[in-house]
Amino acid sequence: MGSRVSVLSLWQSIAKIMALMNDGHTSVMPYYPGAVPRLPFRCKRDGDSLTCDGGKYDGYRILSIGGVSEEELFRTFLRQSSYELEGFASVLYANHIDRKDYLNFLGSKRIRM
């Protein structure tokens, strides 16, 4: 029997290859038949900072998630994502970082939602 590969591992591997394309219209992510758990707030990237957007945490700066610094999460996102402009990558990052699957994709595995 061959070895098994997790969906997360396959997603990370394919994403790294596709990131080499530097194309903002190319991406890969797994399909989930149900809702993906999210953090209790949306996020926005303001310069070099990630902040909470809306709700009771509005305006709070996010320094780390699940024991991984926000800076490291963003650097990993840049390595594993296909984009043309870093400004566009920042928007994609902020739009996805509140999802448990993306947090796992970026290496933050101690998230309970």
Mean pLDDT of the chain: 88
pLDDT of residue 1: 60
Q: How far is CA 86 from CA 1, 47, 48, 76, in A?
A: 42, 11, 11, 13
pLDDT of 39 over the 70 cut: yes
> What is the pTM for the complete model shown?
0.84
One-letter amino acid at 98 equals D
- 3-state SS, residue 72: helix
Q: Sign of the C-alpha dihedral, residues 91, 110, 8, 32?
A: negative
> In angstroms, rounded to a whole number, what is the distance separating the alpha carbons of residues 70 and 48?
10
pLDDT of 64 over the 70 cut: yes
Query: Whose CA is closest to 73, among 33, 39, 24, 30?
Result: 39
Q: What percent of the chain has pLDDT over 90?
A: 49
Rg (CA), the chain: 14
Q: Which residue has the tokens 């992510």?
A: 29
pLDDT of 80 over the 80 cut: yes
One-letter amino acid at 23 equals D
Q: 3-state SS of the chain: helix, strand, coil percent to 5?
A: 40, 15, 45
Range 61-86 average pLDDT: 92
pLDDT of residue 92: 92
